[in-house]
Structure 1
Amino acid sequence: MVARGSKKAGSSSGGIAKRRSAARTDRDGDLVMDSAAKRGGIGKSRGSAGKGSERGGKSARVDSASFQREVLRHVASNDRSMRNSAPTNRGQLEELKITGWTNSKASNTNDRGVGSLIDWLEKKAKAKSGPSKKPVKIKKSRVEGDDTLIISVPSENVPVILRMNGFAFAGANIEIKRVSGEAEGSTGSGKESTVQMLKGVLERRYNPTTKLLDLSALGQDQDLKAAQIFDSKSTTSKFFPALMKVLDQQFKTATEKQEAIESVSLAHNDLPNLSAVTTLAQTLPQLRNLDLSHNAFKDTESLSLWRRKFRNLDHLVITNNPLEQAQPDYSKEFLKWYPKLRLLNTIQIRTDEEAAKGTSASVELPFPIRTPIFQDEGQIAETFIRTFFTGFDADRPTLATMYYDSASDFSFAVNTQAPRDPASTASAPQDWDPNAHIRSSRNLKKIQQLPARQTRHFRGPEAVAKIWSQLPPTRHPDLAAQARSWLVECQSQPGVPDPTGQSPVGVDGFLITIHGEFVELDRDSKAETKRRSFDRSFVIGPGGPTGVRVVNDMLTIRAYGGVQAFEPETVEPFITTATATATAAAGAGAGAGSGSGVVDATPPVPALPPGVTLEAAEQMVLEVQKRTGMTVGYAKDCLEQVGWVFESALGAFEAVRANLPPEAFVQQ
């Protein structure tokens, strides 16, 4: 689908920046951390939760040549500014920074002399490349700030360009350094020194007694200042992922890492959101204690990247952040996100028993409860569902113009013969209003005549809004606070009509099926009158002012039948929209093997090899299904047989494709 919607402004960028300073991003969307010399540092530390962590001992780690190679491979692939000119990196690009050129006579040109400087560098470098006189090519260049030129050159050409450090260009002496801070004459490997520097930061900040990794006030760390990590946009945005990779590779197993680190402090870093540090959740998913105090989080949305990420989080500290004043009830969100959260800002918000069970009797499950399938993308379907039912209860005319266009269809049917709630001892009369309910009901079992059927079909926002106005006012249960009253399913729907007409075969949309309940209200007093159950199905696609349009909407209203049929047997929240797909895949795989074709309501989570997270497995299942056309169950089985190696799974599929039964593929 196109036009997926957008998040709140300001939620997509962020980093560790100086307090009260405005965050700036480069053209790639990475946060710019200006140097301490220009902006006074990154928030001077005013204390942290981990006193003494600077003196902490070393954590258990693997210190071998193979470990070094793995770390260097990660750094090379994620941060070109940390590369050097070792022969093993021949052909790879490394970034160098040049200053002093703005004082040259060439700086008066339109491009401030950048073109002339690059031509001069290439010519001089070729002359200094020895008898071979091999040409030297500067692949990329960009200007940062007022006086810094960043160039990208092949690693094998770095030494010859560094030898021109201090040369005169158009009357001005220039200075050439690696972005990592090394100038000509430096000794040792740039990669190795960078890795050792990051390891030193981790070792000094780890306290083995308290199992605390203190990453507070990173801008004041002397090693990071000396390495000029925050002087360049490229190193700034890649710093934390590289730090987490170095941390991850110091442990032989995930269990060893989990036992060694139970607490992390990110206090005093002036983080406006989590985009700069989001990899912490992948590196330490079993974290028990997290300190986010003294930052710049303005609301829970700025923390949404870690929504339900730390499933074993026991204690969260969020004091001295703007959200305390802007969103006083923020604790409710954290209760939904973290099922085992027991302490918030040192205050107990769940009993020990509730935390052990992973939920609280006073806190409802988050939307949506696990269902057989909920395939979403970018929270398009979830946002639509939340918005739709709120609007249907509050402002139906506006809702109709928001999601319905001239080709949108709506109909509703009243099922007067539906079973009642089996748990109810009383049987209240249904009392269907002939004008509001029956006259426009399109119950095809009772309406046989074609003209009658046609008049009960409504197309376009005006017709939809008019028929909605004839239905009684309603109030649906809150999707977040009363999730047990809902059953929501969603799956991808190909071939949805393209409103632009550019795709004759249609575009991808979603088929959403919802079962739930609502209460009808008196039009004047707004008092509750009747409790009903309903079934509603939507086909949505791209279009409309919000980027989402309703193609078809069918509503069935019936007497209240209870929620026993779709209430889960085990209380387990829906973690991510992809999680349901993966768990359904596990059940589908079991069904395919047994021939039953029945998906278990609570399928087991597949066993994954070390290094493969559940999120990564879910994405691999979906991608294999997409590329091969197989069902989810067969895609999962294929990945399991090759140890969850994606490319191997595709190869295995091609090898056995001719022998697969028809049921292995999604039926068109």
Structure 2
Amino acid sequence: MSAPRGQGRGRGRGRGRGRGDYYTPSDRQNQNQSQPQQQAEPDRAAATLNTVDLLKGFLARRYDASTKLLNFSTIATDEEVAKSGMFRQESTQKKFFPALMVICDEMLETREAKEAAIESVTLCGNNITNLNVVFDLCKTLNHIKNLDLSGNAFHSVNALKPWKGRFKKLEHLIIDPFSSIGWEDELTAWFPKLRILNGSQVRADNTAPGDASMITDAPMAPTPQPMAGAPSPTPTLPAPALDQQKEEMVAYVQQATNLKRDYAIQCLEAGGWDLNRAGELFTQSQPTLPPDAYN
């Protein structure tokens, strides 16, 4: 039995008009909203690549292979970092340094590679008040032997407490002195291998002297910062015999400055065998030292 003619035509026309996509107003709104989001994806990817390139460039500029030093001093004054605004305020600083450590991890993938490449880090002159910004250093580079924290704004030794026991191989630390009594002993207890604090020996040597690459309490620099007013050496005269402690100091100065033995002895003698004073003399006299003063 056939369907009435009117009903058949109605169903046919309905099916024909119903074919194809159908959008409600809300569908069209969602589609319009998704377009800017899709366009933003490449922008975010490009921004990420730019940030990675910025961080890699910063590490390349601040690494000195000859001294195995990562120089993170005065980060905010770095031209490229200043342009990016990444170190302008604490909220962005907290992202900058962890990201920097991630890049460092990617460039030096193994613990052995990190230990072979980096022995010293300086964070001097960043005016930080706590370790929030730079805490991740102890995760990525906790093997370092030398650390310079001078020129910052730590109010008390407690500001460094998050790093307590974290740098188990640290031998030489530079930091602005605190007003509290006994802060030196407290810091020494936190780092089991610490031997030199602000140029003064705080623990007897358990390893060969001279492992640390810094001698004075001035910020670390990629080149030696050398002694003033000492007379020219007289290599024709035999050097006087020294006791064990002085021999260790001579070896330490030679390792830290690359000076020949005669010059290292004169530096220490001129400073009264005080490492702090010897470091000051070394720095003052660098412009007048002849090339053959160095090994």
Q: TM-score range by the shorter chain?
A: 0.5 to 0.7
Q: Distance in 2 between matches of 1:308 and 1:191?
A: 34
CA distance in structure 2 between the partners assigned to 1:192 and 1:296 by the alignment:
33
Match of 1:134 among 31, 47, 50: 31
Answer whether contact 1:214 1:265 (CA < 8 A) is retained: yes
Task: Note if contact 2:94-2:132 (Cα within 8 Å) is conserved in structure 1.
Answer: no
Contact 1:341-1:355 within 8 A present in 2 as well: no
* 1:257 and 2:114 correspond: yes
Structure 2 vs 1, CA of residues 350 and 226 (structure 1 numbering), >3 Å: closer, same or farther? same
Which of 299, 315, 322 is 2:172 aligned to? Answer: 315
Q: Which protein is richer in strand relative to its size?
A: 1
Q: Point out where structure 1 has 5 or more consecutive residues left out of the alignment.
A: 1-130, 138-152, 163-177, 179-187, 357-668
The alignment status of 1:156 with 2:38, answered yes or no, reads: yes
> Does the 8 Å contact 2:145/2:170 carry over to 1?
yes
Deviation at 1:254, TM superposition (A): 0.7
Cα distance in 2 for residues equivalent to 1:253 and 1:280: 16
Q: Which amino acid aligns with 2:69?
A: L
Distance apart, 1:230 and its partner CA: 3.3
RMSD: 2.8
SS of 2:70's equivalent in the other structure is strand
Relative to its length, the structure with more helix (as a share) is 2
1:342 aligns with: 195
C-alpha spacing 1:157/1:246, structure 2 compared with 1 (3 Å):
same
SS across alignment from 1:241: helix
Match of 1:351 in 2: 204
Counterpart residue number, 2:61: 204
- Tell me the amino acid that sits aligned with residue 182 of structure 2: D
Cα separation, partners in 2 of 1:232 and 1:269, compared to 1, 3 Å:
closer
In the alignment, the residues of structure 2 paired with residue 246 and residue 293 of structure 1 have an alpha-carbon distance, to the nearest angstrom, of 25
Letter in 2 for 1:158: A
Task: Give 1:198 shift.
Answer: 0.2
CA distance in structure 2 between the partners assigned to 1:233 and 1:341 by the alignment: 30
Written as runs of structure 1 = structure 2, the 5 A alignment for 1:440-519 is none
Letter of the 1:307 partner, please give it: K
Note the 1:510-549 alignment, pairs <5 A. Answer: none
Aligned residues: 182
1:165-176 superposed matches below 5 A: none
Rounded to whole Å, the distance in 2 between the matches of 1:262 and 1:230 is 25
Matched, 1:331 2:228: no
Deviation at 1:159, TM superposition (A): 6.9
Q: d(CA) in 1 for partners of 2:90 and 2:39?
A: 23
Query: Corresponding residue for 1:658?
Result: none
CA distance in 1, matches of 2:132, 2:208: 28
C-alpha distance in 2 between matches for 1:341 and 1:263: 14
Per-residue deviation, 1:232 = 6.5
Instruction: Find the residue that maps to 2:54 and give its secondary structure.
Output: helix
Letter of the 1:339 partner, please give it.
P
Give the drift of 1:236. 2.9
Give a deviation string over 1:581-638, Cα, whole Å, max 9, x none.
Answer: xxxxxxxxxxxxxxxxxxxxxxxxxxxxxxxxxxxxxxxxxxxxxxxxxxxxxxxxxx
CA–CA separation in structure 2 for the residues paired with 1:305 and 1:355: 29
Q: Where does residue 608 of structure 1 map in the other structure?
A: none
1:120 corresponds in structure 2 to none
Which residue number in structure 2 is paired with residue 271 of structure 1? 128
Taking the aligned partners of 2:36 and 2:172, their CA distance within structure 1 comes to: 48
Of residues 257, 272, 286, the one that matches 2:143 is: 286
**Shift in CA distance, 155/305, structure 1 to aligned 2, threshold 3 Å:** farther
Distance 1:355 1:334 in 2: 22
Q: Name the stretch that deviates more: 285-294 or 232-241.
A: 232-241
Q: Percent identity?
A: 38
Cα displacement (A) at 1:226: 1.4
Q: 1:280 to 1:255 in 2, by over 3 A?
A: same
Tell me how far apart the structure 2 counterparts of residues 159 and 352 of structure 1 sit (CA, whole Å). Answer: 56
Output the CA distance in 2 between the equivalents of 1:299 and 1:353: 29
**How far, CA to CA, are the matches of 2:68 and 2:110 in structure 1?**
17
CA displacement at 1:231 relative to structure 2: 4.8
Deviation for aligned residue 1:263: 0.3
Q: For residue 349 of structure 1, what is the amino acid of its counterpart?
A: V
Q: Distance in 2 between matches of 1:233 and 1:345?
A: 28
1:269 and 1:240 map into 2 onto residues whose CA distance is 12
Cα distance in 2 for residues equivalent to 1:209 and 1:238: 29
Deviation at 1:355, TM superposition (A): 9.5
Q: 1:193 Cα shift?
A: 1.5
Does structure 1 retain, via aligned residues, the 8 Å contact 2:75–2:87? no
- Find the aligned partners of 1:231 and 1:309 in 2 and give their Cα distance: 28
The answer as to 2:75 corresponding to 1:218 is yes
* Structure 2 SS opposite 1:290: strand
Q: Structure 2: how far apart are the matches of 1:334 and 1:240?
A: 24
Equivalent in the alignment of 1:298? 155
Structure 1 residues 307, 154: closer, same or farther in 2, change over 3 A?
farther
SS at match of 2:152: coil
TM-score (norm 2): 0.56
Distance 1:256 1:233 in 2: 31
CA distance in 1, matches of 2:175, 2:65: 24
Call closer, same or farther: CA 1:208–1:279 in 2, change over 3 Å: same
Distance 1:158 1:233 in 2: 27
Q: TM-score, normalised by structure 1?
A: 0.26
**Displacement, 1:299?**
1.2
CA drift at 1:243: 0.5
Q: In structure 2, do the counterparts of structure 1 residues 355 and 312 end up closer, same or farther at CA, with 3 Å as the change threshold?
A: farther
* Amino acid in the other structure paired with 1:266: L
* Cα gap change, 1:315 to 1:159, in 2 (>3 Å): closer
CA contact (8 A) 1:136 1:157 kept: no
Q: Distance in 2 between matches of 1:154 and 1:286?
A: 47
8 Å Cα contact 1:342-1:355 kept in structure 2: no
Give the AA of the match of 2:147: L
Quote the residue 2:264 is aligned against: none
1:452-479: CA deviation from partner (whole Å, max 9, x where unpaired): xxxxxxxxxxxxxxxxxxxxxxxxxxxx
> Residues 234-273 of structure 1, C-alpha deviation per residue, up to 9 Å, x if partnerless?
5332111000100111013111111110000000001111
Q: Is the 8 A contact 2:76 2:88 kept in 1?
A: no
